[in-house]
Structure formats: structure tokens, C-alpha cells
Homo-oligomer: A and B are copies of this chain.
Amino acid sequence: MEPIDEEVGEGRKPSRRSTGASGPVSTNGVGLRDVARAVGVSTATVSRAINHPEVVSRELRDRIALAVSELGWIPDGRARAFTTGRSQTIGAVFPTLALGDFPRAANAIQRQLLDAGYTLLLACSEYDPEQEFQQVRKFAERGVDGLILVGLAHHPDLLPFLRQRNLPFISSFIYDPASHGSCVGPDNHKALVKMTDYLADLGHVRFAVIAQSTENNDRASARLAGIKDALAVRGLAVRPQHLAIGTWTIEEGRRLFSQVLSTHPKPTAIICGNAPLAVGAMLEALATGIRVPDDVSIVGYDDIEIMSHLPVPVTTVRVPGEEIGRRAARLIVDRVEQREPDYPLESEAEIVVRASSGPPPVE
């Protein structure tokens, strides 16, 4: 009844490559063929039973499922990716994992992707467009189905590259309505307008800003612009000596804080461009006996846990990192699978008012 390939198929021609146990292939040795042979059906049927169960008869489906688990067959993702042209893999390039909401978001992305049947490839650019591009090329070579980037500013060759290869991508941690639905995140500019307005409404007029470099960082730029624009509306501006640019460490925050506070006239409100800078500023104030908010108000960006626990809890912009991550993952998957997103892409950045901000000191 099934003498079909008794000789042809029995000992599937020994591949020249299968060098035995030490060979590169980790596919366990059992393939679709083996399952098919065990059940006495064709590989096509087994494949269908796996990928389109509804189209295979119940009885066969069960026997196949049994054989699969008995033989311990696991689909070979490499072969699958090869034949289908899909790797079920998404690449993400973050500036770093050691800052603000990035770790949270990365986590959320990965979980969400898992649910959608995808796996996350992760890399960091260290805020260097060159590195980002390199990572993206690497990912493209690896055959990712889509990419999650951070921000909209990239290496000049990056977008052409992606376009040419027809590789879907989205930008995260930024929102720009102009970008036809491929952005997910907060409107950084708006967020800092809000924050600045809040401080100005308290009566502040001399603002200092300590922030990370805006070079290659459109989120940071947008935030700085938000501050300047909000001030401009009121006829205010940040004096040059009140603008200090640095990195994203606590130490830097301390340094820049004392730097801007050693000017005359002193600023009465200090806006920090990221969480470590804010923490550093706060701790430096504490250490040097500067009273917050009586002498100076300090506000930050990113609501990481420490912000609310410092001796003087810090007013900050809360960016919903997890939500952004989840949405970024959904969005890229939807684009890859040619579905329209049916959820909001702009994440509300919220001002969390805590004890570190108050009216300016009376002069």
C-alpha cells in the first residue's frame, strides 16, 4: 500500500554536508520528510497540517500532530525563512539601553512581538548615525521583516537604503503627524512646551536648560525647541550661559547644574533634558545646600522610578515607555503584514508635578 519510495526515499541521499554529529546543522536531524514518512503522507500534507490546519482532515491532522511530537520535530526557521521570504524577525536599533524608558520599551517590544509570532533583534547605536546605519544594514542582511528605529533623524543613506530594499520600518519615541502613520511616541516639542508653560505660569522668567547634545538627536532637538518656543511666546529666552549641553549621566547632571547656578543672575528654573541629568541636578542641589524648589526649581524628563523617591521628588515629563514599545511592535507588525493600525500613534506625554518645582524665589 505504500511501497512508493521504498528505495528512492528510504535513505535520503546522504548530504555531503552532514558531517555527522559535529556538523553545523543543529536541526536535530528530524525533518518534515521524517514526519511525513512516519505518518505515511507527503511532506506537503504535513506542511499544510502545520500551517493551514483547517485544510487537512481531522484524522490526518491528529496523526501528524502525534508524529510531530513523538519525533520531536521543530520547524527549521532557517529553511522556513528561506522559502517564505519572511524571517518572522524584527530589528530594533536603540541609542542605548541604559537610559530613560529605553529598557522598558525594549522589553515591551519584545513581549508584544512574541505574541505576534516574531522575534526581536536588538542593537544599539550610541547616538551615532553611522553605527545606526551599520546595524540596520546588518539587520537587512539577516533578513529582518521590519525595523523599529528611534527618532526621525538618520544617516542620509538610511532611508534610501530601506526604500530600495522595500523594508518596512517605523520611528519610535517621536510623533510627527506628517509622517503618514509610521511614527509612534510622544510629541517631544509639545511636551516641553507644556512643561515650560507650567513653569512660566508659576512665575519663572530665568530658565536654564541642561540637556544632552542635540546633534543626531531629533527628540532632544524637539524638546529644546519646545522650551525656546514656549518662552518666545512670552518674550523670554534662555540666556547662553544658562544653556549647558552634556551627556546623560548623573555626574554630568551635577556638573552642569553647578555650572549654570554659578552664573549671574542665577536661573530660577532648571529644565533637564533627561532623567540622569535631572537626578544629578537634584542631588547636587541637595549636596550643596541649595533648596529646591525654594531657591531653584528642577524638572526632568522621563519618569523613571527614582524620580519620585529622591528626598525632593522631581517634577518630570512622563513618557509611557511601555505603551510606546507595545505600539511600536504592533505597528511594525501591522505594516509588515499590510494591515492598517487601528490604535492611536501619538502617546500623551504627561507632566508629573512633584515637590521639586514651585514659584521662583522672591528677589
Contacts and interface: CB of A to CB of B under 8 A. Distances in A.
Interface of A: 17, 21-28, 72, 74-79, 81-82, 84-89, 96-98, 103-104, 106-107, 110-111, 114, 119-124, 134-135, 137-143, 145, 164-167, 249-251, 254, 276, 279-280, 283, 286-287, 305-306, 309-311, 338
A107 B114 contact: no
Contacts of A28: 164-166
A117 to B, nearest CB: 9
A298 to B, nearest CB: 15
Nearest to A279: B306
A75 B305 CA distance: 44
A97 B124 CA distance: 14
Contacts of A96: 103, 107
A287 B311 contact: yes
A26 B250 contact: no
A123 B123 contact: no
**Most chain B CB atoms below 10 A, which of A122, A251, A254:** A122
A321 to B, nearest CB: 10
A26 B110 contact: no
A24 B306 contact: no
A283 B310 contact: yes
Contacts of A338: 22
B119 A306 contact: no
B120 A27 contact: no
Contacts of A283: 309-311
A23 B338 CA distance: 11
B25 A85 contact: yes
Given A283-B311, A306-B279, A85 B119 contact: no
Given A97-B106, A250-B305, A78 B85 contact: yes
B107 A119 contact: no
Indicate the member of A17, A21, A87, A276 with the most B CB atoms within 10 Å: A87
A20 to B, nearest CB: 11
13 contacts: A17-B85, A28-B165, A76-B143, A77-B142, A77-B143, A78-B143, A97-B97, A98-B104, A119-B121, A121-B121, A122-B122, A250-B305, A279-B306
A305 B98 CA distance: 11
Contact of A110 (B84, B124, B310): B124
Given A26-B85, A250-B306, A311-B311, 10 more contacts: A26-B143, A26-B167, A74-B137, A81-B143, A97-B106, A98-B104, A114-B123, A114-B134, A114-B135, A121-B121
Contacts of A122: 106, 110, 120-122
Contacts of A26: 85, 140, 143, 145, 165-167
